[in-house]
Amino acid sequence: MPDPLCFDDLPLRERKRARLHLDLVEALVVRLAERSLDEIGVGELAAAATTSEATFFNHFPSKQHLLTYF
């Protein structure tokens, strides 16, 4: 059975996109364990995922959308 988290068969662009989404979700989950969504900034999530706020907004319109994606 193929590993659902294995992105090796995807094109490079899709692998990078999937990795970024996972990194952003991980950053959000870690912070939600300590604070509410309103207390977490997009810049903070982007920095934790080693990306920019602009890139965050290229993928998700808001923190709420990232939470829904999760």
Q: Is the pLDDT of residue 4 over 70?
A: no
Is there a domain that residue 4 lies in?
no
Cα gap 22→26, rounded to integer Å: 6
What's the CATH number where 36 sits? 1.10.10.60
Is there a domain that residue 21 lies in?
yes
Cα gap 15→29, rounded to integer Å: 21
How many domains does the chain contain in total? 1
Element (H, E) at 56: helix 53-59
Q: Which domain holds residue 46?
A: 12-69
Is there a domain that residue 50 lies in?
yes
Cα gap 5→22, rounded to integer Å: 10
Q: Which two tokens stand for residue 9?
A: 């068969």
> How remote is the C-alpha of 63 from its chain's centroid?
10
Name the pTM for this structure.
0.85
For residue range 29-56, list pLDDT tens digits in order: 999 999 999 999 999 999 999 999 999 9
Is there a domain that residue 18 lies in?
yes
